[in-house]
Amino acid sequence: MIAIIDYGLGNIQAFVNVYNRLGIPVTIAKTAESLETAHKLILPGVGAFDHAMELLNASGMRQTLDDLILGKKVPVLGICVGMQILANSSEEGALDGLGWIPGHVCAFKSAPDVAALPLPHMGWNDVHVTCEHRLFKGVEEEVRFYFLHSYFFECMNRDAVIATASYGIDFCCAVQSDNVYGVQFHPEKSHHFGTNLLKNFAEL
């Protein structure tokens, strides 16, 4: 069973709809107890880093998530801000992130080559998969996903970067360390590319 973590952010129903179409069992988790039967977890998110952390910390699920992901090694996929809060910290806020993948979230506006470009970075963008990875199994060589963000994940361990994209600069848009996965783009808005990725995550 895949559990979509509902802590008040993200288009939860969009993920449920994708998995329903695929015939893959899915549930919405709003409490620590509802997480306990999950074999995989999806952590969505939109908006600001600190707001996401405030809501997750207040949800009553934080300790259980740490136990499942760090202790029992349950696979988790963070999406958009859900990927950013996998990091230790962010230029966007003052709160600590989850620290499940060591890194820092940086603002596009602090990069000179992006300063003249519109922000947020919004719309379809090519994604370069940097290694053969089962999360991207079966996708075309020229894979595209839908983005909406003004910050990007700077990973401390370059070996954890599994895909990049370009917007003035090359930036990390997908990471994996052990059982923790993250993507900056929105697979639930990315048509067959996103459906394929979510299916691959379910089949890990």
Has 186 been annotated as catalytic?
A: yes
Strand, helix or coil for residue 128: strand
Of the residues 80, 106, 172, 173, only one is catalytic, namely: 80
Has 80 been annotated as catalytic?
A: yes
Cα gap 171→185, rounded to integer Å: 12
Do residues 173 and 127 touch, judged by C-beta distance below 8 A?
yes
Has 106 been annotated as catalytic?
A: no
Q: What DSSP element (H or E) covers 114?
A: none
Q: Where are the alpha helices (DSSP H) in the chain?
A: 12-22, 32-35, 49-58, 62-66, 81-84, 191-202
Do residues 112 and 45 touch, judged by C-beta distance below 8 A?
no
- In terms of Cβ atoms closer than 10 Å to its own Cβ (0-12, 13-18, 19+), residue 7 is buried
Of the residues 149, 188, 191, 192, only one is catalytic, namely: 188
Token couple for 187: 């697979």
List, by residue number, the catalytic residues: 80, 186, 188
